[in-house]
Amino acid sequence: MSNVQVLPLLEPDAAEVAPCCPPLTERTFSAEEAEVAARMFKALGDPVRLRLFSAVASHEGGEACVCDISDVGVSQPTVSHHLKKLKDAGLLTSERRGTWVYYRVQPSVLAAMGQLLTTAAGT
């Protein structure tokens, strides 16, 4: 008999989402907001990083082991380098489990990026 228990995934509360920046049409970014947004978009500006981000975001359960997402046309050390860049930009979080590292896209990051690219309400 197994002690494995399936736990429900909690949906993020929209009120908890702290967007990095206002929607582009709402107002001009402050210098700090522009730095945060530029760091995220710069990290996603590389095709390999974008594929890795997509692989993690679309993986079953919303997280992926580095061993599951290495088939992007570059070597494993390069995959690790790109995942670190995505993590440094605040797009991914990671957790070491034994010898493997598991990556997850924070739901609030996707929501914040979506809000950034949305027009202000009512326009």
The pLDDT confidence band at residue 109, using thresholds 50, 70 and 90, is: confident
Residue 37 predicted with pLDDT over 50: yes
Kindly report each contact of residues 103-106 with a partner whose C-beta sits within 8 Å and lies 24 or more positions away, as own/partner.
103/56, 103/63, 103/64, 103/65, 103/66, 103/69, 104/56, 104/62, 104/63, 104/64, 105/53, 105/56, 105/57, 105/62
For the full predicted model, state whether its pTM sits above 0.75: no
CA–CA dist 88, 103 (Å, integer): 13
Structure tokens given for 9: 């995934």
Lowest mean pLDDT among 11-15, 52-56, 100-104, 115-119: 11-15
CA distance 119 to 123: 7
End-to-end CA separation in angstroms for the chain: 57
